[in-house]
Structure 1
C-alpha cells in the first residue's frame, strides 16, 4: 500500500473520501454561520438522497438474488445466515447492556423538572401485528420501496434460492437468468458509483441544513441526554468495534477496518440512513476482503435488523421518559421489555432518514406516556439519529467481518488477499 501511495500520491488514493469530507466540512460551516437560512440548501441534499434510494432498492434485490442464485452449496447459505443472526443478536445485546448500565449510573433525566401528569399503564401493544408489518407487505408493488427493506430482502433471498433450486433440478450450475441477475447487480453498483460523484455537494448541502436547523437545540433543557450519548457512541465505536474487528482478523482486521470504515462513517452521519449507506458499505467490505456472498447477505440484512445504535438511542429515550414520570428504570422485566422495544423499533423504522422520530412515537404508544412528551424525545431522536445511524452502519461492516471469520475460518483474510492478488495478476495478463 505504501508503494501505491508513493506512486499515485495521497490525493489520487484518497480523492473520493477527501472530497466527501471537504463537502461535509464546508456544509457544516455554512450551517453554523447562516443558521436557519442554510435550510434553503436542503433540496440539494435531498436530490442526492433520492437518487441513492432509487438505486439502492434494486441494488439490494439483484445483489442478494444473484449471490444466492450462484450458490451451489445451500449448506454454506445456511451457515452464513445462522452466523449473521447470531452475531447481530450478540452485538445488539451487548450494546443494550452497556447503555442500561450507563443510564442507571447517570440517569439522562436527572435535574429535568417537567409536569406531564401521572403515568397510567396502558394496554399492551400487539407485538405480533408489528412483526407481520415488519416482515411482509400486502401487495407486490409495496415491496419495491425503501420502507419495506426487510420484506424485500426476504423476497430476494427466496427468489435467489428458487433460481438455484431450479438450476439444480435441471442439472446445470448456472443459467441465463443467473447471468442477468449478476449483470444487473454490476450495473446498479456502477450507477451508485456515478451518483456518488455528486456526494460531496449533496451531503454538504444536507449537513448545512441539518446544522442550521437543529444546532441551537443542543443548548436545550435535555442537553444532558444528548451530551452523554455522543461520548457513549464514540467509546462504543472505539472499544466494541475494535474488539469485534480483532476477533474477525486480529491486528490485520483492526487495521483494515479503520483504514476503510471512514467513508461509511461520513455517509451514514450525513444521510442518517443505513440503507443509503449500503453502497458505501459494500465498497468498504470489498476493500477489507469480505467474500461477496457474505457481504451481499450480511450488509442488507444488517441495514434492516442490525441496530446497535438504535438500541442505544431507544433505551436512552425510554430511560429519559421513566425519569420524567418518576418511574424506576430497574428490574430484569423492565430492561427486557425496553430491549425488545428497541429491537422492534429498529426493524420497523430502519433505513429511513430521521427514523428516530418514528421510534419515539412507537415508545410513547407502547408505554402510553402523555403525548405531550413526544416533541421532547423527537428532538432527542433528531439530535442523536446521525450518531446512532453511524453506529448501525459501521456495525454492519464489522459484523460482516465476523461472519467471514465464522464461515471461512481464522485465515479468511489471508485467503481474501490471495484472491485479490490473483485477480490483479489475471487483469495484468
Structure 2
C-alpha cells in the first residue's frame, strides 16, 4: 500500500514563518476582493493577535533588559570601547536618518481610534515631564498599563542590582528570559493568522488604498536602511580609517548581509561574522567579544524601524513634532534598538515605548506593531542584514583604526 501524501495542515506546519506570512497576506487580499462582507468578520482574528502582542510586550521588555544587564560579564578588554562607540554612534545616526526621511516623506496608516483618547504633548517640556513621571511609576502599575518607559527604568535598576547577586540567581533570571522569549515565539507563530484577519478586514473596510500606505511605509523603511548601509556607515568608517571605505563595506554586505537577510536572525549569523572577522585578520580576543555583543546592541535597522513606524503613527494622528522632540525620539529609538529582542520582529514590540513619548496609547501603538508584521517579510530581513553586516564592519573599522594609530605612534 502506498503511503498517503502529507495533509495540507502538515505541509503548512512544515513551511517557514515567512512563507506562512506571505500565504496569510495573499489569502487576506483575495478574501477582501472576492467576499468583502466575509472579510469584515475576520477582524476578530486580528484583534486576538493584537491583544496577544499587547499581553507579551511589557513582560518581554522587563525580563529581557533586566536579564541582559544582570548577566553582563565584568572585566571586558578595554579595546572593545572604540567598537562600542561605533555601535552606539551608528545606531543613533540611523535613528536620525529615519527621523529626517519620515519628515520628508510622511506615511499615513489606517488605524482604529474609536473609543481611544489621544492626548498630544504640547512640546519638548511636556514630553520631558511626562517622561520623568513615567520613569518613577509603580512597577506593577507600569506592567499593567503598558508604561514602557517605567518598565525600562525598573528593568535597568533591577538588572544593575541583580548583577551583584549570586550565580544561581542570575542563572534563574537567564532561564526566565529564555522562557519569556519562547512564549513570544509562540505568539509570533500565529502571525500568519493575525495578518490574514488584519489584512482582510482592513482592505474590506477601508479599501485597497491601505495597500498604498503600506507600500509607501515599506519604501521609506527600506530607503533608510539602504542609505545607512551605503552612505552613513561608509562615512563613519571613513572617519575612522581615513581611506576609501567601500571595499570593506561591500565585502561585509556581501559576506554577512546576504546570509543574515535569509536567516533573519543576528544571533544565527554570529558564526558567519566570526569566520569573516578571522579572514579579515582581526584580533581574535577582540572580535570574539564584539561580534556577539554587536548582535545584541548594534541595531541600526531596529532603530530605523522603531522611528519610522512611530512617526507614521504620529503623522496619522495629526500630532506635530518639533525638532527637540525629534532629537529625543532619536535617542529613545537608539536605546530601544539596543534592547530589541533576538526573535523575529523583536524591534516591532518596542514601538509602543517610542509611541508613549507622544501620548499615543497602547491600543493604537499595537495596531502599528501589527502593521509592522504585515510588511515584516521584507522589513525584518533587511533590518537583520543591516544589523549583522554592520557588526563586522564596525569591528573591522575599529580594529584596523587602532592598529594604524599604534603604528603611527610607534
| CA distance in 2: counterparts of 1:323 and 1:298, whole angstroms | 37
Shift of residue 147, structure 1, vs aligned partner: 4.9
Instruction: Tell me how large the CA RMSD over aligned residues is.
Output: 4.1
Say which SS state the counterpart of residue 409 (structure 1) adopts: helix
| CA distance in 2: counterparts of 1:302 and 1:336, whole angstroms | 24
TM-score (norm 1): 0.56
| CA distance in 2: counterparts of 1:341 and 1:256, whole angstroms | 30
| CA distance in 2: counterparts of 1:371 and 1:357, whole angstroms | 13
Counterpart in the other structure of 2:293: 301
| CA distance in 1: counterparts of 2:171 and 2:272, whole angstroms | 27
| CA distance in 2: counterparts of 1:36 and 1:223, whole angstroms | 17
TM-superposition CA deviations, 1:291-337 (whole Å, max 9, x none): 212212221221111111111111112211211221112221x1233
Counterpart in the other structure of 1:389: 384
| CA distance in 2: counterparts of 1:323 and 1:261, whole angstroms | 33
Shift of residue 341, structure 1, vs aligned partner: 2.2
1:362 to 342, 348, 353: 353
Structure 2: state its 5+ residue gaps.
1-14, 28-71, 122-129, 135-148, 179-189, 200-209
Say which SS state the counterpart of residue 342 (structure 2) adopts: coil
Shift of residue 271, structure 1, vs aligned partner: 3.2
Q: Is the 8 A contact 1:311 1:346 kept in 2?
A: yes
| CA distance in 2: counterparts of 1:213 and 1:112, whole angstroms | 16
| CA distance in 1: counterparts of 2:21 and 2:400, whole angstroms | 47
Structure 1: state its 5+ residue gaps.
1-26, 40-63, 149-208, 413-429
TM-score (norm 2): 0.59
Counterpart in the other structure of 2:319: 327
Counterpart in the other structure of 1:313: 305
Say which SS state the counterpart of residue 339 (structure 2) adopts: helix
| CA distance in 2: counterparts of 1:405 and 1:85, whole angstroms | 15
TM-superposition CA deviations, 1:66-102 (whole Å, max 9, x none): xx99xxxx9xx22x13212221232223222222211
Shift of residue 361, structure 1, vs aligned partner: 3.6
Shift of residue 134, structure 1, vs aligned partner: 6.2
Change (3 A) 1:33 1:294: closer
1:130 to 119, 131, 155: 155
Query: For structure 1, which segment, 390-399 or 339-348, has the greater mean C-alpha deviation from structure 2 after superposition?
Result: 339-348
Counterpart in the other structure of 1:403: 398
Change (3 A) 1:277 1:213: farther
Give yes or no for the alignment of 1:230 onto 2:222: yes
Give yes or no for the alignment of 1:239 onto 2:234: no
Q: Is the 8 A contact 1:108 1:320 kept in 2?
A: yes
TM-superposition CA deviations, 1:364-397 (whole Å, max 9, x none): 4565423332443213433222222221111111
| CA distance in 1: counterparts of 2:261 and 2:158, whole angstroms | 28
Change (3 A) 1:402 1:235: same
TM-superposition CA deviations, 1:213-272 (whole Å, max 9, x none): 979969364332112211221232122233445556677863244235434223322333
Change (3 A) 1:221 1:98: closer
Counterpart in the other structure of 1:141: 171
Query: For structure 1, which segment, 371-380 or 250-259, has the greater mean C-alpha deviation from structure 2 after superposition?
Result: 250-259
Say which SS state the counterpart of residue 222 (structure 1) adopts: helix
Counterpart in the other structure of 1:35: 23
Shift of residue 401, structure 1, vs aligned partner: 1.2
Number of aligned pairs?
A: 291
1:339 to 325, 330, 337: 330
| CA distance in 2: counterparts of 1:353 and 1:326, whole angstroms | 30
Query: For structure 1, which segment, 213-222 or 389-398, has the greater mean C-alpha deviation from structure 2 after superposition?
Result: 213-222
Say which SS state the counterpart of residue 329 (structure 1) adopts: coil
| CA distance in 2: counterparts of 1:210 and 1:248, whole angstroms | 42
Counterpart in the other structure of 1:108: 107
Shift of residue 353, structure 1, vs aligned partner: 2.1
| CA distance in 1: counterparts of 2:303 and 2:346, whole angstroms | 13
